[in-house]
Amino acid sequence: MKKGLIVFASFALLLAVGSPAFSQAPSRSVETVMIDNFDGNDSDVTWTWNVQASRFVTKDYPIINTFEAMPNSLKAVAKADETHKVIGAKVKFDRKGDNWMEIYPEKDGKPYEIPFRGNVKTLDFWVWGANYLYFLDLLVRDADGRIHIIHAGNLAFNGWRNIVVEVPTYIRQHSRLRSGPEQMTFVGFRITTDPDEYVDDYVVYLDHFKYSTGALAYIYDGYELQKADFGDDNKAEKDGQ
């Protein structure tokens, strides 16, 4: 009798522990994905960057451009024979107050939201501060269509600094519906002035924007069937015309 109980317990343990290894991918697998290094040599980057500002911006501002530069900490791992660039923006406002500037991706002359992969854990980038008391936020859109603000601290420092921010767990990154968005998207960087800070001449630079993700977190056994065509896709398009 004891031998039978041992065999049964071992079988039950095998079902409880072993089965998931065959039915789903490991969700703890983490990888780093480069969004944009701003060097202009990545074929996966199909967007450009643009800038906009709030209503009291000075005429002909803001300005955005790329420059040959990179943080010293990255030079140790960079190839010396390659040209490395950063993206920079300059802005002036006509008066102090709650002013802001946004640096955002663009495609075909329209704002473009960069899709993330997997379950994003952290956002990682380098930013050059001009020692103004301005505040930096990242804007993301969740799988329900809502925009969230992720605070990245203030820019009251000189030179380059590596910023790593965690993505809050309350942000829904994937829709539970077949017809819902497949992933969270990146909307842009927002820089907001402190109401008492000077606003006559401000510049900021960004480099090496990437993220860490559990890329396999939403890959499950049979994932490829989620978007299977039942033959009604073309019919639905015709009915909608």
In this structure, is residue 47 part of a structural domain?
Answer: yes
Which pTM does this prediction carry? 0.79
In this structure, is residue 240 part of a structural domain?
Answer: no
In this structure, is residue 16 part of a structural domain?
Answer: no
In this structure, is residue 52 part of a structural domain?
Answer: yes
Q: CATH number, domain at 133? A: 2.60.120.260
H or E element: which one contains 207? strand 202-214
Q: How many angstroms separate the CA atoms of 186 and 113, rounded?
A: 5
In this structure, is residue 3 part of a structural domain?
Answer: no
Nearest alpha-carbon partner for 184 in 112, 118, 122, 106: 118
Q: How many angstroms separate the CA atoms of 109 and 116, rounded?
A: 21
H or E element: which one contains 49? strand 48-53
In this structure, is residue 39 part of a structural domain?
Answer: yes
In this structure, is residue 181 part of a structural domain?
Answer: yes
Q: What string of pLDDT tens digits covers the 241 residues of the chain?
A: 555 545 444 444 444 444 444 334 445 678 999 999 999 888 889 999 999 999 999 999 999 999 999 999 998 877 777 889 999 999 999 999 999 999 999 999 999 999 999 899 999 999 999 999 999 999 999 998 999 999 999 999 999 999 999 999 999 998 776 555 578 999 999 999 999 999 999 999 999 999 999 866 555 555 566 666 677 766 555 555 5
In this structure, is residue 68 part of a structural domain?
Answer: yes
For residue 112, how many other CB atoms are within 10 A of its CB? 20
Scan for tokens 């802001």, then name that residue. 100
The residue range of the domain holding 199 is: 35-219
Domain count, the chain: 1
